[in-house]
Amino acid sequence: MLSAPATPNEGGAASSSDTGRGTLATAPVPSLTASSRSALGAEQDAFRSSLTRTIDEFLAEQRAVLTEISPECVPLISSIATLTGGGKRMRALLCYWGWRAAGGSADDAAPVTAGTALEFFQAAALIHDDIIDRSDTRRGRPSVHRQFSTRHADAGWHLDPERFGVSAAILAGDLCLAFSEELFTASCSQDAGRSARTIFNRMRTEVMAGQYLDLLEEAVGPDQTPEVAEERALNILRFKSAKYSMERPLMLGGALAGADESLLSAYSAFALPLGEAFQLRDDVLGVFGDPEVTGKPAGDDLREGKRTFLIARALASGSQDERARINGMLGDTALDAGAIRELRGLIVASGALADTERLIEEKSAEAFAALDVLGTDPVSTQALRLLAEAAVTRTA
């Protein structure tokens, strides 16, 4: 499951959930004056507003282009807007603060345009991920392929509405990728753009490879030993999510501002373990999350057959009978509430949930330790700290 993190509520604290996690141990927040805290909030709000305005203006331009081709194409833009109009903008915010921490100006358009490119790339990933996972909902709404299949069925069109929905959603996702490339190219200056372009290209390849490995693991996972399964699960979360959710956006912002290799490496030391903790939290929410908060059905990752670290650890720690029961139920799309409760109970009893929570804390501690020695200005450091805390303590 791919999802967006929560952001801090007023005062910087992130809300808690009842998923069983421990208390996150973080280093003390650097001391900022009241005026500095206010300035940080105002600057971040201004960036969000610019980002939203840029997204809306770009979509309006593309709506006009598609209308000129045929008004029947407009639903493609409308479906994309259901994703770009929401979310917490975490990747774009990391790109912005990576830019600012590397000395970029708050008034420059480059991080806004690059952040918009990341938002469209994220929309593409979500659309295609929901197709792969056969997910009917996203953020409490019908997923894009479900929107199109419903449109087909309601209109009484010919042939299979399900196939039409999937096909149209693939095209909507591809359109998002094209938009992302167009926008990112526009964000690059002649000098800094070369380094940023390398990072952006690598990020896209990493995500596609990670998605494939995730798909592959559903097919070959039951044949792996528990130890190998854990190693494979961690590799998948690193490339499917951790790098593109946290590490690459921060590095992109830094590269666009002209950051040298030393600073980019320091960014990576902070953001990669943070991204791994972020995805481990997502895996916990995919099994134990509250549907009213996550916008996804309870236990959706269990029905989809996700071979996450949480599942790998449960298989490693359970008895032979428990392993057989988990493998037998995992990936059954017909699992009812009782079966979900049983699987959850097996996972908890195995100690896998507690082990995953400990790993989240270890990865978080690694990230915050790297942040403490990052050496960037206090305002940027504070902003990154608050984003990091929100990412690993989120409930949706």
Q: What ranges in 238-351 are assigned the alpha helix state H?
A: 248-256, 261-288, 291-294, 300-304, 309-317, 320-329, 337-350
Looking at the DSSP bridge assignments, the partners of residue 141 are 138
276 closest CA partner among 248, 246, 307: 246
Residue 190: the pLDDT is: 66
DSSP H stretches of helix in 70-190: 74-84, 90-101, 110-133, 144-155, 161-187
Q: CA–CA separation, 55 vs 71, rounded Å?
A: 21
Q: Is the pTM of this model over 0.85?
A: yes
Kind plus residue range of the DSSP H or E element containing 142: strand 141-142
Q: How far is CA 313 from CA 54, 219, 319, 348, 356, in A?
A: 43, 18, 12, 11, 8
pLDDT at 292: 85
Q: At residue 29, what are phi and psi to the nearest 5 degrees? A: -70, 135
Q: Report the pLDDT value the prediction gives residue 31, as an integer from 0 to 100.
A: 64
Instruction: Identify the pLDDT of residue 22.
Output: 40
To the nearest 10°, the Cα dihedral for 293, 295, 301, 302?
80
Residues ≥6 apart with Cβ < 8 Å to 180: 117, 118, 120, 121, 124
d(CA 114, CA 116): 5
User: How far apart are the C-alpha atoms of 225 and 221, rounded to whole Å?
Assistant: 9
Question: For residues 315 and 323, is the Cβ–Cβ distance under 8 A?
Answer: yes
pLDDT given at position 15: 37
Please report the pLDDT score of residue 12 as a whole number: 36
pLDDT of residue 75: 98
**How many residues in total does the chain contain?**
396
Question: What's the sign of the alpha-carbon dihedral 173, 178, 181, 184?
Answer: negative
d(CA 82, CA 97): 26
**Tell me, what's the pLDDT at 18?**
40
Mean pLDDT of successive 10-residue stretches along the chain, which has 396 residues:
39 37 44 84 96 98 98 98 90 98 96 98 97 90 97 98 98 98 90 90 98 94 90 97 97 97 98 97 94 84 94 94 94 94 97 97 98 96 96 82
Separation of first and last alpha carbons in the chain: 11
CB 295 within 8 A of CB 396: yes
Torsion sign over Cα 368, 371, 372, 378 = negative
Q: Are 57 and 79 in contact (CB under 8 A)?
A: no
Residues ≥6 apart with Cβ < 8 Å to 259: 98, 102, 251, 267
Burial track 208-246 (b if 16+ CB lie within 10 A, e otherwise): eebbebbeebbeebbebeeeebbebbbebbbbbbbbbbb
For the chain, what is the largest distance between any 2 Cα atoms, rounded to a whole number of angstroms?
64
> What pLDDT score was predicted for residue 10?
33
The pLDDT assigned to 361 comes to: 97
Task: Encode 156-182: b = buried (16+ Cβ within 10 Å), e = exposed.
Answer: eeeeebeebbbebbeebbebbbebbbe
